[in-house]
Chain A
Amino acid sequence: MINFDIEPVHGVGKLTFEGELTVKHGKEAREALTRALAEVDHVIIDVESATEIDTSCLQLFCSAHRTAERMKKKLNFSGILPYCLKNAMKVAGYDRHTGCGFDPDCRCLWIAR
Chain B
Amino acid sequence: MEEAGKKNTDDALERSIGMQRGPSSMEADALKSGPGKSDTYRIRFRPALDIFSQGRDVAVCLNELRSLGRCKIVAQTEDIPYLEELDPAICYLYWDAILTTNAGEDAVRKALSSSSEGSTLKIDVIDEEECANDDGAYKQLGEILLERGDLTPGDLEEILSSKKRIGEMLVEAGKVSREKVTSALIEQQYMRELRRRHNEAEFRSDVRATARGFNSSFNLLDEFVMAQARLVQAVLARNIPEFTSAAEEVKKIIEELRESTMSFRMMQIGT
Contacts and interface: CB of A to CB of B under 8 A. Distances in A.
Interface of A: 23, 26-27, 29-30, 33-34, 37, 54-56, 58-60, 62-64, 66-67, 70, 88, 91-101, 106
Given A23-B52, A97-B16, A59 B93 contact: yes
B42 to A, nearest CB: 14
Interface in B52-100: 52-53, 57-59, 62-63, 73-75, 77-78, 80-84, 86, 88-89, 91-93, 95, 97
Contacts of A94: 75
Interface of B: 8-9, 12-13, 15-16, 19-20, 52-53, 57-59, 62-63, 73-75, 77-78, 80-84, 86, 88-89, 91-93, 95, 97, 171, 177-179, 182
23 contacts: A23-B89, A26-B88, A54-B52, A55-B52, A55-B93, A56-B89, A59-B92, A64-B83, A66-B82, A92-B62, A92-B75, A93-B73, A96-B74, A98-B9, A98-B16, A98-B182, A99-B178, A100-B77, A100-B78, A100-B177, A100-B179, A101-B78, A106-B9
A61 B67 CA distance: 28
B15 A97 contact: yes
Contact of B88 (A30, A92, A99, A106): A30
A28 to B, nearest CB: 9
A98 B88 contact: no
A27 B88 contact: yes
A62 B178 CA distance: 15
Contacts of A59: 77, 80, 86, 88, 91-93
A63 B95 contact: no
A94 B13 CA distance: 14
Contacts of A54: 52, 57, 59
Contacts of B58: 55, 92
A99 B77 CA distance: 10
A37 B86 CA distance: 15
Contacts of B53: 23
Q: Which of B75, B77, B97 has the most CB of A within 10 A?
A: B77
A93 B95 contact: yes
Nearest to B10: A98
Nearest to A28: B88
B46 to A, nearest CB: 13
Given A92-B62, A93-B75, A67 B83 contact: yes
Contacts of B86: 30, 59-60, 63
**B15, B80, B171: residue with the most chain A Cβ atoms closer than 10 Å:** B80
A42 B89 CA distance: 26
A27 B175 CA distance: 33
Nearest to A88: B59
Name which of A62, A66, A98 has the most chain B CB atoms within 10 A of its CB: A98
A29 B88 contact: yes
A59 B9 CA distance: 23
Nearest to B96: A93
A102 B91 CA distance: 18
Given A56-B52, A62-B80, A101-B78, A96 B16 contact: yes
Given A55-B58, A98-B12, A30 B83 contact: yes
A98 B178 CA distance: 9
Contacts of A66: 80, 82
Contacts of B92: 59
A4 B155 CA distance: 47
Contacts of B63: 91
Interface centre among A59, A62, A100, A106 (most CB of B within 10 A): A59
